[in-house]
Amino acid sequence: MSDREPGQLAAYPKVLVGAEVADLLGLDPRNVAAAAAAGKLPAFKVHPHGEWRFDRRRIAAVIENRATGSFPPLLEGFPDVMSPRQVGEVLRYEARTVQQMAAAGTMPGGFKVGGPQARWRFSRAVLSKVIEQQPAPAAEPPPE
Query: Does the CA dihedral 40-41-42-44 come out positive or negative?
Result: negative
- Quickly state the pLDDT bin for 19 (edges 50, 70, 90): very high
Domain spans in the chain, listed from the N-terminal domain onward:
7-71, 81-127
Would you give the distance in Å from CA 28 to the centre of its chain?
20
Q: For 20-53, how does the pLDDT look when each residue is reduced to its tens digit (9 = 90+)?
A: 998 888 788 888 888 888 787 889 998 888 899 9
> What does the alpha-carbon distance between residue 27 and residue 18 come to, in Å, rounded to a whole number?
10
pTM comes to 0.56
Instruction: Judge whether 59 and 2 are in contact, CB under 8 Å.
Output: no
- How many other CB atoms are found less than 10 A from the CB of residue 76? 9
Please tell me the predicted confidence (pLDDT) of residue 85.
94
Q: Does domain 7-71 have CATH number 1.10.1660?
A: yes
CA distance 19 to 35: 13
Over 50: is that where the pLDDT of 69 sits?
no
pLDDT, residue 4, reads 44
Residue 140 has pLDDT above 80, yes or no: no
